[in-house]
Chains A and B, each alone.
Chain A
Amino acid sequence: MRDRIWIIAGLALFAVVVTAPFWSERTPAKDLTKVPNLVLPVNQKDCVAPVSYMRASHMVLLLRWREEAVRQGQRRYVAFDGKVYDKSLTKTCLGCHNKEQFCDRCHTYAGVSGPYCWNCHNQPQTNVAGISPRSMP
């Protein structure tokens, strides 16, 4: 029983180390609990599909647009509310959304490492004020 002091000290140290991420102020864990700070378009209320669908399946829609516009020459998209859009990432999507403040922030938060859209697709001029197109990843 002479080692009691060491055992208790060791257990205490162990508890401190294991629980450190939960109470330490230096850990980024607290930041990760925040949702990404997305900047939503100011000029538009409606998207090409309901928000719930876009949030979960925008990539499916983009792939379908890509196939239809490039391979079948169908460039008009009639949305769920009857509005007609151009099937264009640069003109339609980025016409409202900002890549850095919308796409990138959520992708970074969700740990989605780069869809390669931006290797080729440009940002429209109005959205790239102060941002060189070449600075895109």
Chain B
Amino acid sequence: MKITRKDFLRLSGLSFLAAGTLEAARAVAGSDSSAQNSPGKPSAQPVRWGMVVDVQKCRKDQGCDACIGACNSAHNVPHLADPKHEVKWIWTEPFENVFPFEQSEYAQQTDAGIPIPLMCNHCASPPCVHVCPTQATWKRDDGIVMMDWHRCIGCRYCMAACPYGSRSFNWVDPRPAIAHINPDFPTRTKGVVEKCNFCEERLAQGLRPACVEACPEKALVFGNLADPNSEPRQLLRKRFAVQREPELGTGPSIYYLV
């Protein structure tokens, strides 16, 4: 078969044109399908889970520990007698230790000794995440500072980095110290660090955190801080709220209405 130079050029041109059209059609179809998918992800509301603790409503001073009990039984948190081995997800400290900047002599008289419920602050810029050498702890897109106990090597850098004391190390096997094991949540093992996970396993099922549901006074208000109309944001607009040690720049997601 003989082919002239003119025919060759004409054929090449047509081939390139056909290939180009196909590619363009594919690109248009691709952008169409991504446009159809987009309402699912990018246009969805950004989420940053957070909590507001109404100290005035909290009845910790009357001995209520419903939130702590609910958390401990939901997450198999051990109750170890030795304070050096203590493991805590949500716990209390006296007001003057939590908010040392509020220590005027008169404030001390009224507020001193009032127990304040504390937990992991799920910081916007979590120091524990920055120091973890194995990425066993990391910040999720919804703001939860998560832990992967499979990866934790027990180096305790995160405990040194956390300014809030929110992390505990398992110095001993926690299982014997758990009164009733909840089979739906794993226990931990000796040699890993643990902390509050904002009940991410409950959030995945559309439930609120166990402590929030357990509070008889509704003193713990949980919601999406990125949504201006969420319950915590409405409270934060109305009332004066403080974070723990905001000057450290960690950006805690737990606010206290004092």
With A71-B148, A75-B204 given, is the CB distance from A133 to B140 under 8 Å?
no
Q: Are A90 and B148 within 8 A (Cβ)?
A: no
- Please report the C-alpha to C-alpha distance between residue A4 and residue B36 in the assembled complex, in whole angstroms: 95
In the complex, residue of chain A having the shortest beta-carbon distance to the beta carbon of B192: A120
CB of A58 within 8 A of chain B?
no
Can you list, as one digit per residue, whether each of B94-136 has a CB less than 8 Å from chain A (1) or not (0)? 0000000000000000000000000000000000000000000
Tell me which of B140, B184, B188 contacts A90 (CB under 8 A): B184
Q: Are B175 and A124 within 8 A (Cβ)?
A: no
Tell me which of A91, A123, A125, A134 contacts B176 (CB under 8 A): A134
With A71-B148, A120-B149, A134-B175 given, is the CB distance from A90 to B189 under 8 Å?
no
CB of B186 within 8 A of chain A?
yes
B187 cross-chain contacts in A, Cβ below 8 A: 120, 122
In the complex, residue of chain B having the shortest beta-carbon distance to the beta carbon of A135: B175
Q: Are A116 and B176 within 8 A (Cβ)?
A: no
The tally of CB-CB contacts under 8 A between chains A and B is 40
Which residues B164-191 have CB closer than 8 A to chain A?
Answer: 175-176, 181-190
CB of B150 within 8 A of chain A?
yes
Which residues A101-137 have CB closer than 8 A to chain B?
Answer: 116, 119-125, 128, 133-134
CB of A73 within 8 A of chain B?
yes
- Please report the C-alpha to C-alpha distance between residue A134 and residue B178 in the assembled complex, in whole angstroms: 10
- Please report the C-alpha to C-alpha distance between residue A120 and residue B150 in the assembled complex, in whole angstroms: 10
Minimum CB–CB distance for B234 against chain A, Å: 27
With A70-B150, A134-B175 given, is the CB distance from A124 to B183 under 8 Å?
yes
- Please report the C-alpha to C-alpha distance between residue A124 and residue B182 in the assembled complex, in whole angstroms: 9
In the complex, residue of chain A having the shortest beta-carbon distance to the beta carbon of B187: A120
Interface residues of A (CB under 8 A from B): 66, 70-71, 73, 75, 90-91, 116, 119-125, 128, 133-134
A-B contacts, 17 of them at CB < 8 A, read A70-B150, A71-B146, A71-B148, A73-B140, A73-B200, A90-B183, A90-B184, A90-B186, A116-B189, A119-B189, A120-B149, A120-B186, A120-B188, A122-B183, A125-B183, A133-B175, A134-B176
